[in-house]
Every structure is written in structure tokens, then in C-alpha cells.
Structure 1
Amino acid sequence: MAMYESEHTKFMREWMAKHPEQAAEQKKGRALWWDKPQDLNVQADNSASRVPVKPYYYDINNH
């Protein structure tokens, strides 16, 4: 039995086969928004500065 493949997936597969230049454009777009170098010191500072959230914010007995 074949695996299900959505219409969108089929369309994107066909589109990428017909337009191979879009792969480079896709990588540029991904690098713009997602593939960023991570600074471990900044991540540690952000984690250390988090304030714990109480279970139910509007409960007057938890303040």
C-alpha cells in the first residue's frame, strides 16, 4: 500500500522539478529567517533571567 501524499506535497515536488533554480532561492530565504549562528552565552543569560510563572495568574491567593 502506498503512503499518502498530499496535493500540496505533489505540487511542490513537481514545481521544484520544473524550477531547479528555486532551490537556491529557498536556501537564501531560509538563511534569512532561520539559519542563524547561536551564541551560547546569550542563551545562558536569557535562561538565567527568566522569571517563573505562577500556575494561575489571576488567582489572588498565588500573589
Structure 2
Amino acid sequence: MYSDYQSDTTQFLNQYLEQHPEEAKQRLINRGLLWDVTLNPEEQEDFSAAKLPKKPYTYQPD
């Protein structure tokens, strides 16, 4: 029933990407900078070791 619905924003973005194909390429490059990153296992180990134990109740005074 509502499967064909697209919001105005989605329609605008789709139309914009059709008119500016270079933006789609740039979008993939930017995604690679933020999301498609390989994690360094040594750094991850250090981050895990640096975590402090969490209190059972945050607002309980010590």
C-alpha cells in the first residue's frame, strides 16, 4: 500500500544525485573515510584495558 511512497527529501536527494553523478562518487569516498575502516587490534586492546568499571547506580554518592 505505502511501498511506493517517497518523502520530499528522498525525492530531492535522488533527483540531485541523478543531476550530479560526481556526488555519488564523492559519497562513496567519504563513506570509506568514516565507516569502512580497518581497526588496529593493538589499539582496541589498549582501549579495552583503559575502561573503568561502571558503578551499579550512577547517582549513588560514594
TM-score normalized with structure 1 length: 0.69
Q: Look up the match of 2:49.
A: 48
Q: Look up the match of 1:2.
A: 2
Deviation readout 1:7-40 (Å, 9 max, x if unpaired): 1111111111111111111122223333322112
Identity of aligned residues (%): 36
Moved more, 10-19 or 29-38: 29-38
**Residue 46 (structure 1) shift:** 1.1
**Residue 59 (structure 1) shift:** 1.3
Q: Amino acid of the residue matched to residue 24 of structure 2?
A: A
Give, in whole Å, the separation in 1 of the partners of 2:33 and 2:42: 22
Give, in whole Å, the separation in 2 of the partners of 1:22 and 1:58: 48
Task: Within 5 Å, give how 1:11-30 maps onto structure 2.
Answer: 11-30=12-31
CA RMSD after TM alignment: 1.9
**Residue 54 (structure 1) shift:** 0.7
Q: Amino acid of the residue matched to residue 46 of structure 1?
A: F
Q: Amino acid of the residue matched to residue 43 of structure 2?
A: V
Equivalenced residues, count = 61
